[in-house]
Amino acid sequence: MPIIPHLIVDEYGSFIGKKSERLLVTCRGEKRVEAPLLHLETVLIAARGVSLSSDAIAACADNGIPIHVIDSRGAPVGSLYSSALAATIETRRAQLMARGDRRGVAFAKAIAAGKIRNQATLLKYMAKNRKERQPELFQSVRLLADEVLDHLAELERWQGATVDECRGQLLSTEGRAAQKYWAAFGLLIPAERQWPGRRTQGAQDAVNGALNYGYGILYGAVERALVLAGLDPYAGFLHVDRPGKPSLVFDLIEEFRQAIVDRTVVAMCNLGMELALDEQGRLEHAARKAIAEKILARLEAVEAYEGKRFALRAIIQHQARRLAQFLREERAEYAPYEAAW
């Protein structure tokens, strides 16, 4: 029986049950896959009409396996965890208190700075192979990457006793850096993909659809890391809290979008992988499955971190724990993850 660390259930009408020490997925009475609980790390439900047995839910909870649900565009719908993971009052109390002091400001600045650095690094990494073949494109992308980095100095000018006092300025700086990043990103996408610029809600093109779907999968990995670190995913700093919005997930994910999703989508586009859309402008089933498999594989890719090498999924967990330590004032500062390619 194959080892399945990430179970993807993306077929309408599927049923997830428990058989002995395995999850069994069937559809219309036919067996699709069996996943041993021993090796399983996550369950991703990426289709409507999927049902689960209470035994399957209990088995996942007992084994610390989260169940994530996303819609056809990759937007997170919900997640199921063991209730025992919420018993972390000391960390959550520190998290809520930090919203009103310098810790919130420091973390928000660190997240924005880490995002900007990783955007510039990815652009330079993706452009380096174009130096000989497409020198003009190489120069354009490198110039935009440097302009993205120029915004780092601007971040340091924004001051405030609490994150609420400087959030608008931080987001403005981050947004202007992102405009240059996405302009350069578009240059790295083959012209036949017809990149219209970055679109989030309601995207009708394949590249934005792939990005949004990939981010939806990454949301689940980041939320799991935060919950395991004892943090509340819904109490953020850089992003404003709203009912039903996991703002701390939106904060921490900023460090990892480029290394995990953006890099993967650029590679898929340049390798000529098909990303077909249906009549409603959504990615077809085969495209969603391919993206999910690529993103989950990228999460297991090993990268340099703190003088050692870890899977990116483990690096996300390390960063979540370091955030918890920083908020509890067991660590002097929070340093964002910076990809080194």
Retrieve residue 144's tokens: 């935009």
DSSP state of 33: E
| Closest C-alpha among 14, 68, 12, 58 to residue 37 | 58
Among 27, 50, 65, the domain boundary falls at 65
d(CA 58, CA 258): 35
Q: For residue 233, is it within any domain?
A: yes
**Is 234 strand, coil or helix?**
coil
Instruction: Return the number of other C-beta atoms located less than 10 Å from residue 69's C-beta.
Output: 19
Write out the H or E segment, with its range, that includes residue 7.
strand 6-9
Q: Which of 33, 65, 97 is the last residue of a domain?
A: 65
Asked if the structure places residue 196 within a domain, the reply is: yes
Residue 68: closest CA among 312, 283, 296: 296
> Does residue 59 sit in the same domain as residue 140?
no
Instruction: Tell whether 84 is covered by a domain.
Output: no
What is the domain range of residue 190? 89-327
Per residue of the chain (341 residues), give pLDDT as tens. Answer: 678 888 989 899 999 999 999 999 999 889 999 999 988 888 999 888 999 999 999 998 888 888 989 887 777 788 887 766 655 788 999 999 999 999 999 999 999 999 999 999 999 999 998 888 899 999 999 999 999 999 999 998 998 999 999 999 999 999 999 999 999 999 999 999 989 999 987 788 999 999 999 999 999 999 999 998 999 999 999 999 888 889 999 999 999 999 999 999 999 999 999 898 888 888 998 999 999 999 999 999 999 999 999 999 999 999 999 999 999 999 999 999 999 87
Helix axes 285-299, 312-327, angle to 10 degrees: 60
User: Both 102 and 226 in a single domain?
Assistant: yes
Report DSSP letters for 79-143, one per residue.
EE--GGGG--HHHHHHHHHHTTSHHHHHHHHHHHHHHHHHHHHHHHHHHGGGTTT-HHHHHHHHH
- My answer on whether 170 and 319 are in the same domain is yes
Q: What is the pLDDT of residue 310?
A: 95
Same-domain check for residues 53 and 100:
no
Give the whole-angstrom CA distance, residue 93 versus residue 186: 43
- 229 secondary structure, DSSP code: T
Any idea what the CATH number is for the domain that residue 33 is in? Answer: 3.100.10.20
Residue 79: beta bridge partners?
A: 68
pLDDT score, position 115: 98
CA angle 272, 257, 323 (to 5 degrees): 160
Q: Where are the alpha helices (DSSP H) in the chain?
A: 54-62, 89-98, 102-127, 135-149, 151-157, 163-187, 206-228, 247-253, 263-270, 285-299, 312-327
Q: Is residue 332 part of a domain?
A: no
| Structural domain count of the chain | 2
Sheet containing 51-52: order of strands:
30-36, 22-27, 14-19, 51-52
> What CATH number is associated with residue 202?
1.20.120.920
Nearest Cα residue to 263 out of 210, 336, 191: 210
- Decide if 52 is inside a domain: yes
Question: Pairing state of beta strands 30-36 and 22-27?
Answer: antiparallel
